[in-house]
Amino acid sequence: MTQPNPNDVLPLSSEPLRAACPEIAQAKRSLLTELEASLESGQRALLARDVAGLEQSSGEQMRLLRALQIFWQPGPAQDDPACNAELRALQMRVLHLGRVQAALLARGQRWLRTIANLVTGPATNYAPSASNGVPLGHRNLRASGEEEERAPCRD
Amino acid sequence: MSGLNASLATALSGLTAEQGALQATTNNVANVNTPGYSREVPDLVSSDPIVVDPLTLGTGVTLKSIDSIRDPILESRIQQETQTQGQSSALASALSQTQVNFTSGTGDIGTAISNFFNSVNQLSTSPADLSLRQGVLTAAGNLASSFNVAANNLTAQRSSLDGSVEQAVGQINQLTTQIAQLNGQIANLQNVGQSAGTFVDQRTQLIDQLSALVDVSVIPTDNTLTLTTANGTPLVAGHQSFQLSTQLDPSGTQHIFAQGSDITSALVSGQLGGLLQARDQQLPALQTQLDTLAAGLATAVNTVQTGGYDLNGNPTGATDSKGNPQTPVTFFKFDAPPATGAAASLSVAITDPAKIAASSDGTVGSNGNAEAMYGLSNRALIQGQSPTDYYSGLVFNLGNDAASANAEQSASSLVLQQLNDQRSSISGVSLDQEAANMVQYQNAYAASAQVITAINDMMYAAINMTTLTG
């Protein structure tokens, strides 16, 4: 399998790359740096409730993830320990940012649920939604047989 | 009432109102750097007009109240996020301390397991070599010791967390007492129509501090508020506070009680929630895993040990060479739960290196049993995993939990930073805005004073006119 040229997948990071690192490590580093920046911008968008910004950064992250999957094929570790350490530190930062993003998304989800409940109004039943789309009260009535008893009265 | 006197009273109301408004501005400027201070704005309203047929005449202005600017929903969100931060911060701190026990190094359990099996492997190359046999015993001793140290450290950490729980309960009681006192002062002031803004600010700050410690629900009532934990246990109701207490359970851990009920399991947020989560869930789970690993490993080694022959050709199992029952010569010994726990009590049962059952047939050169013992290193002994894999999983899960708690803490800090910025933009003092207000009130005051001067001139003219005509 021929290795893809990193320049075909992504533009390289503007930061100067370690010249001593092998090309594949430089490409990984570039992708991780870009992912780090994208996660940070995603966090800012999440905090600012900027849906467009969040969508954009999520799209970037998906693209970067696909590119990283191509590069992260199992294989021998790089020989340069400094290079490995640098990549490892970058990986840890990205992992942490990913976890923070997940935590912020969970908060965003809770906030949306609260807003949805507020918008729906006080008439909404806050109990878990009834199964099969049958309203809870309706099912209870049917189960107790009250509906059948009351039906003639409606006529 | 009309005429010049009425106009004078109207102008005077302007002077008084603008003076009060200026006082609010002065107070805002003075508190520009006071943490938790909410800016005050004067509420100026027109005084009730009077009807003098056919006219309706205004009677000036009244400074109805000086209100502090707050957003109750924002305050509530800050309190909720503070609780989350308190919880994740306490948990992250506890787990990072726990991680120290499992950091790879010379004395960690993972290295000790590898060293033990390596020494057994070396013994299998020369099963009669006494120095290699001694090496196995030393490595086994180190393995047992690393389990003991890790288990004892976990127990010590639980005790330390217990102390922190007690301390947190003390702080909660102190804060709820102060909040109850402030509730009384606020209610007293508001009942007589006075502004209690400063006390409300102090109370908000104390509630923020309380939120960092425990999950608090704030229920506003007339002129006061009620605080409960998330499960409804009252902490403060009006001017009355309800103290929490701690009591030791039979296992020696502190439980939290409110009015006679044990609410320990109901506290899930705030620093207390994080401490309890670490003490009652994370550390016991880790301790159980350690016990499982120690017991599984020791049992497997003992099984192999008691199936072979020692250096003197004697069987180490339950029967001797003549078939008579004997006490098996086990390699490790440990207390099974519910006693101390396998990890804390694990020790090497044999002291004589010759007792190691390296031989599988009783001959001196046989290494069958030593090889079988070494083979355990890759066998699925504990819940379908090899000892090393099981230990790696334990360390990975711990690291994962610690990293998640750290990420939660970071997320909470980011959200809190943003919410506090929002609070500052709503409740904080802007010196530019206050400078503009000051000029506005100053000009209005000067204008009212000018009106009084004009009325004075008019009155003077009227008095002079009266003198001339008289």
Are A58 and A43 contacting, i.e. CB atoms less than 8 angstroms apart? no
Contact B403 A47 (CB under 8 A): no
Omega before residue B338 within 30° of 0, cis: yes
Q: What is the pLDDT at residue B318?
A: 86
- Mean of pLDDT values over A51-68: 92
Q: What is the pLDDT at residue A24?
A: 79
The closest of B286, B388, B290 to B342, measured between CA atoms, is B290
Q: What is the pLDDT at residue A27?
A: 84
Does ipTM surpass 0.90 in this model? no
Predicted confidence band of residue B411 (pLDDT cuts 50, 70, 90): very high
Predicted confidence band of residue A126 (pLDDT cuts 50, 70, 90): low
Collapsing DSSP to helix, strand or coil, B342 comes out as helix
Dig out the tokens for B396 from the structure: 């990975």
The closest of B27, B7, B8, B5 to B441, measured between CA atoms, is B27
Contact B415 A47 (CB under 8 A): yes
Of B403, B414, B415, the CB nearest to A96: B403
- B408 interfaces chain A, CB cutoff of 8 Å: yes
pLDDT higher for A29 or A146? A29
pLDDT higher for A37 or A120? A37
Q: What is the pLDDT at residue B68?
A: 87
- Mean of pLDDT values over A38-66: 92
Q: Which range (B101-115, B254-268, B380-394, B403-417) has the least confidence?
A: B101-115
In a mutagenesis test of the B interface, which of A104, A110, A112 is the best target, namely the one with the most B β-carbons within 10 Å?
A104
Predicted confidence band of residue A77 (pLDDT cuts 50, 70, 90): low
Each residue's pLDDT tens digit, B278-304: 999 999 999 999 999 999 999 999 999
pLDDT at A122 over 90: no
Beta partners for residue B258, in sequence order: B244, B261
Contact B404 A107 (CB under 8 A): no
pLDDT at B44 over 90: yes
Q: What is the pLDDT at residue A87?
A: 85
Sign of CA dihedral B289, B293, B296, B299: negative
What is d(CA B226, CA B389) in angstroms, rounded to the nearest whole number?
52
pLDDT at A8 over 50: no
| Inter-CA distances, B144 with A25, B53, B114, B151, B370, Å | 42, 104, 13, 11, 19
Give the torsion through C-alpha atoms of A115, A116, A119, A124, to 10 deg: -130
**Averaged pLDDT of chain B:** 91
Side chain identity at B84, as an amino acid letter? T
Tell me the residues of A at the B interface, defined by beta carbons under 8 Å apart.
Answer: 43, 47, 95-96, 99-100, 102-104, 107
pLDDT at B211 over 60: yes
Nearest-by-CA chain A residue for B422:
A48
In percent, how much of chain B has pLDDT > 90? 70
Nearest-by-CA chain A residue for B80:
A107
| Inter-CA distances, B460 with B258, B450, B465, Å | 74, 15, 8
Collapsing DSSP to helix, strand or coil, B236 comes out as strand
Contact A100 B407 (CB under 8 A): yes
pLDDT at B117 over 70: yes
Each residue's pLDDT tens digit, B256-267: 999 888 999 999
Q: What is the pLDDT at residue A14?
A: 41
Number of H helices and number of E strands within chain A? 6, 0
pLDDT at A120 over 90: no
Burial class (CB in 10 A: 0-12, 13-18, 19+), B81: buried
With tokens 């010994």, the residue in question is B333
Q: Which residues of B touch A107 (CB under 8 A)?
A: 411, 415
In a mutagenesis test of the A interface, which of B414, B416, B419, B420 is the best target, namely the one with the most A β-carbons within 10 Å?
B414
What is d(CA B330, CA A38) in angstroms, rounded to the nearest whole number?
58
- Mean of pLDDT values over A73-87: 71
pLDDT higher for B309 or B322? B309
Are B424 and B150 contacting, i.e. CB atoms less than 8 angstroms apart? no
Contact A96 B408 (CB under 8 A): no
- B401 interfaces chain A, CB cutoff of 8 Å: no
Predicted confidence band of residue A20 (pLDDT cuts 50, 70, 90): low
What is d(CA A50, CA A108) in angstroms, rounded to the nearest whole number?
11
pLDDT at A135 over 50: no
The alpha carbon of residue B230 is apart from the nearest alpha carbon of chain A, in Å, by: 17
pLDDT at B346 over 70: yes
Q: Which residues of B touch A96 (CB under 8 A)?
A: 403, 406-407, 410
Predicted confidence band of residue A155 (pLDDT cuts 50, 70, 90): very low
Q: Which residues of B touch A44 (CB under 8 A)?
A: none
Contact A102 B414 (CB under 8 A): no
Sign of CA dihedral B65, B71, B73, B74: negative
Are A15 and A73 contacting, i.e. CB atoms less than 8 angstroms apart? no
- B291 interfaces chain A, CB cutoff of 8 Å: no
Each residue's pLDDT tens digit, B220-274: 887 788 999 988 899 999 899 999 999 998 888 899 999 888 999 999 999 999 9
Side chain identity at B177, as an amino acid letter? T
HEC sequence for B352-364: CHHHCCCECCCCC
What is d(CA B93, CA B86) in angstroms, rounded to the nearest whole number?
11
- Mean of pLDDT values over A100-125: 82
What is d(CA B341, CA B321) in angstroms, rounded to the nearest whole number?
34
| Inter-CA distances, A89 with A68, A82, A85, B162, Å | 16, 11, 6, 35
Q: Which residues of B touch A100 (CB under 8 A)?
A: 407, 410-411, 414
Beta partners for residue B52, in sequence order: B55
pLDDT at B338 over 70: no
- Mean of pLDDT values over A42-64: 92
Q: What is the pLDDT at residue A148?
A: 40
pLDDT at A143 over 50: no
Q: Which range (A1-5, A85-89, B309-313) has the least confidence?
A: A1-5
Q: What is the pLDDT at residue B67?
A: 87
- B416 interfaces chain A, CB cutoff of 8 Å: no
Q: Which residues of A touch B410 (CB under 8 A)?
A: 96, 100, 103
Interface of B with A in 92-151 (CB under 8 A): none
In percent, how much of chain B has pLDDT > 70? 98
Q: What is the pLDDT at residue A68?
A: 87
- Mean of pLDDT values over A88-114: 90
Q: What is the pLDDT at residue A73?
A: 67
pLDDT at A3 over 50: no
- B452 interfaces chain A, CB cutoff of 8 Å: no
In a mutagenesis test of the A interface, which of B408, B413, B416 is the best target, namely the one with the most A β-carbons within 10 Å?
B408
What is d(CA B61, CA B10) in angstroms, rounded to the nearest whole number?
7
- Mean of pLDDT values over B447-467: 89
With tokens 């990205």, the residue in question is A94
Instruction: Find the farthest-apart pair of alpha carbons in chain B and give their distance in angstroms, rounded.
Output: 150
pLDDT at B277 over 90: yes
Q: What is the pLDDT at residue B58?
A: 87
Strands (E), B201-346: 216-221, 224-229, 234-237, 240-241, 244-248, 254-258, 261-262, 332-333
- Mean of pLDDT values over B84-101: 94
